[in-house]
Homo-oligomer: A and B are copies of this chain.
C-alpha cells in the first residue's frame, strides 16, 4: 500500500476494555496500516466518569474517600492494562509512530473532540463501548461517533468465531 498512499495518515483508534475494541485494532493493523508505512497511530482510551452515589439521607456520599480512591485506582489500572495490551499489539510496526492517550469523560464526546483536535484521517473502533443498559439509554458510542466525526469511521465487530452464532 505504501506505493499507493504517499501522504502520511493519522489514524485514531478508540479503545475500551472489550474484546471488540482489541479486534478493531487488530483488524486495522492487518488491513489498513502497512507495517512499513509512515502512518501515525493514536491509541486513545477514555476513562469513564466516576459515578457519584449520594447517601440516601442526603448528608454526603455513600462511599468513603478510601473506597472512591480504590475505585479511581482500579480505573487507572484498567486504563494502563488496555493501553499496554494495545502497545504490545503494535510492537511489530517498524516506521509507524504510535502515540497513546488516556483521557477522562464521556467516550462519545472525548472521541469526537480528539478526532477534531488531531485532524485524524480515520477513526477505528469496536462497535460497542457501553454495556447493554447504558447503550439503550445513551445509544452506542460508535453510532454517535459515525454521525459526528468528519473523517471516515471504521467500526469493527467481534469476530464471527467468538460471537456464539457460528
Chain A residues packing against B (C-beta within 8 Å): 1, 3-5, 9, 24, 27, 30-32, 34-35, 122, 127, 140, 142-143, 146-147, 149-157, 160, 163
A9 to chain B, nearest CB (A): 7
B143:A31 contact, CB within 8 angstroms? no
Copies, count:
2
Give the contacting residue for A146; candidates B32, B151, B155; CB below 8 A: B155
**Residues of B close to A149: CB separation below 8 A:** 157
Q: How far is the CA of A31 from the CA of B153 in the complex (A)?
A: 12
**Residues of B close to A32: CB separation below 8 A:** 31-32
A160 to chain B, nearest CB (A): 6
A30 to chain B, nearest CB (A): 6
Q: How far is the CA of A151 from the CA of B31 in the complex (A)?
A: 13
A155:B156 contact, CB within 8 angstroms? no
18 extra interface residue pairs, beta carbon distance < 8 Å, beyond A151-B157, A154-B154:
A1-B1, A1-B31, A1-B34, A4-B35, A5-B30, A27-B152, A31-B32, A31-B122, A31-B152, A127-B146, A127-B147, A140-B147, A142-B146, A149-B157, A150-B160, A152-B155, A152-B156, A153-B154
A155:B153 contact, CB within 8 angstroms? yes
A163:B146 contact, CB within 8 angstroms? no
A82 to chain B, nearest CB (A): 20
**Residues of B close to A156: CB separation below 8 A:** 152
Task: With a 10 A CB-CB cut-off, give which of A31, A142, A160 has the most chain B CB atoms.
Answer: A31
